[in-house]
A and B are shown apart, each in its own frame.
Chain A
Amino acid sequence: MDNSRRDFIKASAMASVATVAVGGTGVVAGESGETAKTSQAQKVQWTKSVCRFCGTGCGVMIGHKGEQIVAMRGDPEHPTTKGLVCAKSLFLPKIVHSKDRLTTPMVRKDGKFVPISWDDAMELMADKFAKAIKKHGPDSVAYYGSGQAMTEESYLCNRLFKGGIGTNNVEGNPRLCMASAVGGYVTTFGKDEPMGCYDDIWEANTIFLIGSNTAECHPVIFDQILAAKQRNRRLNIITLDPRKNPIVSVSRVHLAPVPGYDLAVLHSMAHCIIRDGKHDKAFIEKNCQFKTVKDGKPINVGFDGYVDFLKDFTPERTEMTTGVPAKDIEEAARLFSYGPTMSIWTMGLNQRIRGVWVNNLMHNLHLITGNISKPGASPFSMTGQPNACGGVRDTGTLCHLLPYGRSVKKEEDRQFFEKFWGSKPGTIKPKPGLHTVAMFRALGENKIKAMVMLTTNPGHSMPNLHPVRDAMGKERKDKPFIVVLDIFPTRTTEIADLVLPAAMWSEKTGVFGMSERRYQIHPQIKSPPGDARSDFDIMLDFAGRLEDKGVVKKGYIKGKFKTTDDIWDEIRLASKDTPYDFMGITRERLHKERGLRWPCPTEDHPGTARRFVKGDDPTLDHGKYADNTLFPGETKFYTAPDDRAIVWLRPALGPAEPADKEYPFVLSTGRVMEHWHTGTMTMKAEELRRAYPHCFMEINPKDAREMQIQSGDMIKITSRRGEAKIRARVVDMPQPGTVFVPMHWEDKDSLINFVCIDAFDPGSKQPEFKMCAVKLEKV
C-alpha cells in the first residue's frame, strides 16, 4: 500500500470515527450522497446494508471494488445505531471471502461426500420428499429454518410446507432463543413483539437489564446505554444476573439470585412497589386484568387477589429462597417504580423451562407501574439473530403459527391463508406440528423421513446433542434423508446426506426485521462463490419439482415468483389489516430509507415508534382496532382480551435440574463478544478466532480453591447427558456453585451442548440452556 493510499485510509478511518462518535449524520470525507456512491479516486463503492449478526440491526456501509468486499463501517445515517458496529461486523468481508466457503453441491455416498450436479441434487431432494409424502403422508417431512434466513426465504418455506405440502412440521432455531419472549408477549398482550423501541434507552431514568450480557452480546446497545447514562445523570442501571457480567460495573444494583430462582425476586419487587403505594392505580384500573391458572384454566382474581398472592414474597422471605439481599430487592423496586423504566432481556430469561412465566413477570412490573408504551418505558426483549423477529416470529414460520399473528388452530386464519395462497381447502392442518425438540426426537424414531435445514447448525446448537446427532446422522434401516443448505461446512453438514452450497448475506437481496420492529433490506453486492445459490432460489426450485411430482398443487409456487422482490408484495399483503400492517414498507422505500418500523400501513407513513399509544400507533386510527374516543398519548392494549393486558400470578418455581449431591454445580452457557452462536462465521476470521482460540470454563475462585483448580487446568464437565473437556478460567464472575461456558467452539471435546439439558418450557417449548446440574473433575 503506498503512502498516499494509506493516508487516505487513515483519514477515512478518522472521519468515520468522528462522524459516528458525535452521532451526526455527516458522511465520510471524499464521499457524498446516500448510497452506492463511488469515491472515484479510490474506486471503492460504498453501499448501504445491515449487519449479518445479532438482532440489534446495525446499519452498515459496505465498501466494495467489483466482486471484492474490501471494507466495512457503520452507517452514520442509521437512525438508531448511528454508525456504531461491533468487531464481528467489521470482519464480515473476511468471512464472506473465506476460502472455506461451500461452493458445490455434495452428496453422501458410501460414507463420503462426493460432488453432484445441481440438477441431480435437486431431483434427489425432491424425489426423497415426494416419496415420503406419498407413502407416509405430509407429516413425514419437516422444515427447520433460521432467524438468519431472509424474510422472503422463511415466508416461502412456510408457504410451501403448510399451504403446499400440508404439514405444520415447520420450525426454526428461534425456538431455541426467543420462543419464551413470544409466549410472554402473547399471553400478556395477545400478540407478539415489543411495543417500544431503542429510542426508549435515551428517555429512561431506569434501565433494568435482566438475563442479558448486553456488553458482550449486544455491544452497540450497551454503548447507547452508557451514553444515555452519561447524558442523564439520573439514569440508574439495575442488573439481574446470577453471573457478575461486565454490566455489573456500571450498575447501581446487582441482583444475583441462585440460578433459576429469579421469579421470586420479580414478585418481591412487585410486592414492594404495591406495599409502598408506587403502583399506578389509574393505569391498572383502565388497562389491566389479573389472572391465575386453576385446574388448567385461567381465572380472574382481581387486583386484591394479586396483592394477596404477593404477600408470600416479602423481601426478607425472598432473600432466604433466592440469596438476593432484601435491601437490594427494595432498592431495585424503588428504582423501577421511579421510571420511566425500560427493561431489556435476552436468553437469560428465555432459555428456561419457566421462560414464559418469567417473561410474564417482567410485563407485570411494567403494567403495575404504568411503565409501558411511553417514552423511556418499555418491556423490551432483544433478539440474538438478525431476522428472528421479521423472518420467523412475524412470518409465523413456527409449527403453531401462520403469518402476522395468525394461528393454525383458528379456522378463520387457516381459511384466509388457503384462499390467499391458493391452497386446496383443508391443506393447512389445525393441529400444530412438531416443535423443535419433538421434531428431532421424531427424526430419531424415523417418524420423519425427510428434513431440510437451512442457515442453521442444529448439529452444534441443540441441547443434549448426542441423540440429536444420532437422529440426523446415525446409519440405520430407514434412516431419514437430511438436506442442509449452508455457506460453510459445519457440525450439521458433516452428518447430512445432501449439502447444498448457499449464498451469504451480501450475495443476495432480502429483508431482515430486528428487535425494535424495524425492517431493513440488505442488497446483493457480489455473486456467490462457485456454484452456490441463494436459499430462496434453491427452495423455489425445490417447490417447483414437488409440483411436478404431484405432491404440491400445480402452479402453487412455480411461475409465481422469480426473485425475492417478487414475493415481497405478497408478504406485505399478508400483513394488511393486521396489527403488523406494513403495506407502506415498499421495496423502493426499503432501498431508500434506513429501515421502517411496523405498523406502517401506508406509503407515506413514517413507521411506528411505540405501539398501543393513540397518536403514535396507526392501528388505533383506522380499521378494526380504531378508537377515536382516546386522547393522544392514551394507551389501549387492543390485542389483549377486553383490551386489558394480563398481570399473571405465576408460581415461583425453579429449574428442571437443580444441583444435587451427585452433580453439585450449576452450568450456564452463553457467549463472548468476538464470537457469534456456533462460530460458523466468526471462527473464519482468524483475528476473531485467535482472540478466543479455545473454549473456557469460568469458575469462582472459592470453588477453584476448594477443588485445587487453577486457570488453564483441563476440567471434565459431566452431566447426566454427556461430557466436555474444557480449560478452567478462575475468575470472580460466576457465583460459587456455578460455572459458565460459552457455546461457540465446534471442537467435539469442548462442545458444551453435549452436556446441556433438553428439558423445555411447556408453553414456549424452548429448552433450558441456561442451567443444568454438572460435576467437575480435573483431568
Chain B
Amino acid sequence: MAIVGAFARVDSGQNASCQRLLCELAGVSTFEINDPDKVGILIEADTLDQAHSMVSQKIRSIPGVLGVWPVYVNTEDEQD
C-alpha cells in the first residue's frame, strides 16, 4: 500500500467541481484546506507506481486543475 498526500492548485471558483471530479477517481479522497484555490488530496494505491500515475496523468488532466504537488510520500511499507 502506498500513501501519498498532495494538493492541487485549482482555478479560482473551480474548487467544488474539482473536488467532485477528484473523488470519482479510485483511491482518491479530498479534504478541505483553508485556501479556496487548493484542494487537499489523499491517494491510497497498491503501489507507488499507481499513485504516481494518478498524480501525473489523471489528476493533472482534470479541468480546472492547474498543477498537483505531492507533499508526502511514504515508502516505509515497501522497505520493511
Spell out A's residues near B (CB within 8 Å). Answer: 1, 6, 9-10, 12-14, 16-18, 20-22, 44, 65, 68, 70-74, 83-87, 90-91, 93-94, 97, 215, 219-220, 222-223, 226-227, 230, 250, 673-674, 686-688, 690-691
Contact = CB atoms under 8 A, between A and B. Distances in A.
Nearest to B31: A14
Nearest to B11: A230
Given A6-B1, A691-B52, A84 B40 contact: no
A17 B71 contact: yes
24 contacts: A9-B74, A10-B42, A13-B74, A16-B71, A17-B6, A17-B7, A18-B40, A21-B7, A21-B34, A21-B35, A21-B40, A44-B76, A70-B75, A70-B76, A72-B73, A84-B69, A91-B73, A97-B79, A223-B67, A223-B69, A226-B9, A674-B56, A686-B49, A687-B51
Contact of B71 (A1, A20, A68, A690): A20
Given A1-B80, A71-B75, A227-B9, 19 more contacts: A10-B44, A13-B5, A17-B5, A17-B7, A17-B42, A17-B72, A18-B34, A21-B7, A21-B33, A44-B76, A73-B5, A85-B70, A86-B69, A87-B52, A90-B72, A219-B69, A226-B9, A226-B67, A687-B49
B7 A690 contact: no
A713 to B, nearest CB: 22
Interface in B1-54: 1, 3-7, 9, 12, 31, 33-35, 37-38, 40-42, 44, 47-49, 51-53
Contacts of A90: 70, 72-73
B59 interface: no
A220 B9 CA distance: 12
A93 B73 CA distance: 10
Contact of B7 (A10, A20, A44, A220): A20
A688 B52 contact: yes
A14 B70 contact: no
Contacts of A12: 5, 72, 74
A22 B69 CA distance: 13
B5 to A, nearest CB: 3
B73 A84 contact: no
A222 B48 CA distance: 24
A85 B71 contact: yes
Contacts of A250: 66
A49 to B, nearest CB: 15
A729 B70 CA distance: 27
B33 A690 contact: no
Given A85-B71, A226-B66, A22 B33 contact: yes
Q: Which residue of A13, A85, A226 has the most chain B CB atoms within 10 A of its CB atom?
A: A13
A177 B30 CA distance: 39
Contact of A220 (B5, B69, B72): B69
A12 B77 CA distance: 15
B40 A17 contact: yes
Contact of B56 (A83, A91, A691): A691
B1 A73 contact: no
A20 B6 CA distance: 10
Nearest to B34: A22
Contacts of B66: 226, 250
Contacts of A93: 75, 79
Contacts of A16: 5, 71-72
Contacts of B1: 1, 6
Given A17-B72, A18-B40, A22-B35, A10 B56 contact: no
Contacts of B74: 9, 12-13, 70-71
Contacts of B72: 12-13, 16-17, 71-73, 90
In the complex, the 4 A-B pairs of residues with the closest C-beta atoms, listed nearest first: A13-B5, A90-B73, A16-B72, A13-B72
A360 to B, nearest CB: 33
B13 to A, nearest CB: 11
A250 B56 CA distance: 19
A52 to B, nearest CB: 15
Q: Of residues A20, A21, A71, A72, which shows the largest number of chain B Cβ atoms within 10 Å of its Cβ? A: A21
Given A17-B40, A20-B71, A230 B3 contact: no
A84 B70 CA distance: 8
A73 B74 CA distance: 9
A17 B38 CA distance: 10
Contacts of A227: 9, 37
A10 B3 contact: yes
A525 to B, nearest CB: 15
Most buried by B among A14, A674, A686: A14
Nearest to A71: B74
B3 A13 contact: yes
B1 to A, nearest CB: 6
A87 B56 CA distance: 9
Among A16, A17, A20, A68, chain B packs the most CB atoms within 10 A around the CB of A17
A215 B67 CA distance: 9
A97 B42 CA distance: 25
A687 B5 CA distance: 16
Contacts of B7: 17, 20-21
Give the interface centre of A18, A74, A86 by most chain B CB atoms within 10 Å.
A18
Contacts of A22: 33-35
Contacts of B37: 227, 230
Contacts of A13: 3-5, 42, 71-72, 74
Most buried by A among B53, B55, B56: B56
